[in-house]
Amino acid sequence: MDLSTADPDTVLDLLDRRLVCALQVDGRAESGRIAEVLGVSARTVTRRLARLRGAGVLRVVRMPDVEDAAVGALLLRVRVLRGTVDSIATALADRPDVPFVDVMLGGQEIGAVMLSDAGARDRLLYGQLPATAAVTETTTHAVLHAFADAGQWQAGYLEAGEAAALARPVAPRPRTPPPLDELDHAVLARLTEDARQSHAALAEAVGAPESTVRRRLHRLDESGLLRTHATVDPRLLGLAVDANLWLDVPPGRLADIGAALARHPQVHGVLATSGPTNLMAAVFCRDHTGLYRFVTDTLGPLGVTRAETAIVARAVKRAGVPLRRFGRQR
């Protein structure tokens, strides 16, 4: 079955969704461990994951460290002329310093996350985008604090005990992370492309003994540098609506509201930002009714004073992974 052209609502059965969730907990979990926790055979796990990954429906990549990469990142809202959204979104997605790109409902706004130094930032914001006739307006928000990011979200098809059994022990992070050498950077670069590579494959790719690679991975993991993201079209998990909520909250309640939203199972990102609003939450909902209920039943009681809802029509790039093969868009 070609998953890249199949109907997103009917492709993944319950076991497929549970396997995706297992990789959301630990993207490098071995098939045997997943099989034991989920109560299926290791052969079934291996076969199903190979099918999903081979069809381009599922990719597992290394996520940047949220504390190091998110704070200071830029959230871009780029308004474009009608009919030009695809070319601008593709140009942004082709940049290695732009890991997230969405086309918003209506086809005249692109949302993007930029992780870059001041030079590249200024060239894009003050040179390249203004020089493009198709761009009519750009709004830029700086991330001031990250309450949760995409690497922490789980779709909810696992029981709490199953998720706990799959989670790796979290060691206290060293106050001063150890310096990274050339081999560390090479290993991390490979995992950024495919976080499920075996120790043997990594060792061959970086030209080091497998025992050395194992030790390096253990050290990198203890430093909090092996966070992973299972990238999948949310519609395949029964979540048809993806939305960015730009929120105004009282400054004295910003920390509490951000933390509360970060714990919500539908939220896959919460950031305190600069700009006309001070909090952005990205949410997945089963349908538009679910989004309405999230706004009324979740945001209302928290004391959010104003909410602008921007619905994602098409995800172009997530966690550095282009989504062109993730099935047709609606």
Given this chain, do its domains 14-63+153-232 and 67-148+239-322 carry the same CATH topology?
no
Asked if the model's pLDDT at residue 51 lies above 80, the reply is yes
The pLDDT of 43-51, averaged and rounded, is 95
At residue 322, the pLDDT reads: 84
Residue among 260, 241, 257, 239 nearest 249 (CA): 257
Q: What is the spatial distance between Cα 166 and Cα 156, in angstroms, rounded to a whole number?
A: 14
Tell me which residue has tokens 């990594």: 202
Cα 131 off chain centre by:
30
| CB count in 10 Å sphere of residue 328 | 9
pLDDT by residue (tens digit) across 52-88? 988 888 999 998 654 455 677 999 999 999 999 999 9
Mean pLDDT of 35-45: 97
pLDDT in tens, 92-126: 999 989 999 999 999 899 999 998 888 888 999 99
User: Across residues 40-58, what is the average pLDDT?
Assistant: 93
Domain range annotation of the chain: 14-63+153-232, 67-148+239-322
In sequence order, what are the residues at sequence separation of 6 or more whose Cβ sits closer than 8 angstroms to the Cβ of residue 211? none
pLDDT at 326: 38
- Give residue 174's pLDDT: 61
CA-to-CA dists, residue 62 to 56, 123, 254, angstroms: 17, 27, 29
CATH 3.30.470 fits 14-63+153-232, yes or no: no
Contact 168, 226 (CB under 8 A): no
Say what the pLDDT of residue 328 is. 39
Percent of the residues in the chain that have a pLDDT greater than 70, as a whole number:
90
Mean pLDDT of the 241-265 span: 96
The fold of 67-148+239-322 is Alpha-Beta Plaits (3.30.70)
- Could you tell me how many residues make up the chain? 330
Per-residue model confidence (pLDDT) at position 211: 95
